[in-house]
Amino acid sequence: MATSGSKAVEGQKMSMTDLFFRYIPLAGSASALAFSLNVMNPTFFRSVFSPNELLVANSLWFNAHLGIGLYLYGRRHMRQGTTYQRVLFSVFGTVLFNFGSVLFWATTRALILKNDVLRSLFGIGTGIAMLFIGKEYLDFIDGSMSKELD
């Protein structure tokens, strides 16, 4: 039987913790990758989402911030901070990550050959790499903490 704050999903329980700190961050990561197409290949992005490309781009951008922010907020090393610190550091981290990614894509877009497929693949590939490196970094920080804090 499902407890308060969770519901049965095909024989498994999905808690609010899973929703907020696993599934929403996964959706945010996917949104960040999709947003890379808006930066690296805006013509394609407009052709797919026109006439609502601005709405779609802003939704992806918002979801990327929400997902990365919740992922940071739920990390082990953040648990020792106050709620204020956790929110502050999560907002700071997600802004740095997302705006840094966009700055990187916008800068490299000007340096890459004018080939839309190459630019799109570069944006998605580097987005995956940045997400992977960010996760490895946070795992390293969490792993270097004392086990007594759990």
Q: What is the pLDDT of residue 3?
A: 46
Residue 7 falls inside a structural domain: no
Residue 45 falls inside a structural domain: yes
What's the pLDDT tens digit per position in 14-52?
788 888 989 999 999 999 999 999 999 999 999 999 999
Cα separation, 132 vs 139, in Å, equals 10
Q: What is the pLDDT of residue 91?
A: 98
Residue 3 falls inside a structural domain: no
Residue 148 falls inside a structural domain: no
Full domain range(s) for residue 67? 12-143
Residue 120 falls inside a structural domain: yes
Residue 4 falls inside a structural domain: no
Residue 92 falls inside a structural domain: yes
Taking alpha carbons only, the member of 15, 28, 139 closest to residue 77 is 139
Cα separation, 51 vs 47, in Å, equals 9
Cα separation, 146 vs 61, in Å, equals 35
Number of domains in the chain: 1
Residue 95 falls inside a structural domain: yes
The distance from CA 83 to its chain's CA centroid, rounded to whole angstroms, is 21
Amino acid at 73: Y
Under-70 pLDDT residues of the chain: 1-11, 148-150
Q: What is the pLDDT of residue 1?
A: 38
pTM of the model: 0.85
**Conformation bin of residue 149: beta by default, left when phi > 0, alpha when psi is -120 to 50:** alpha
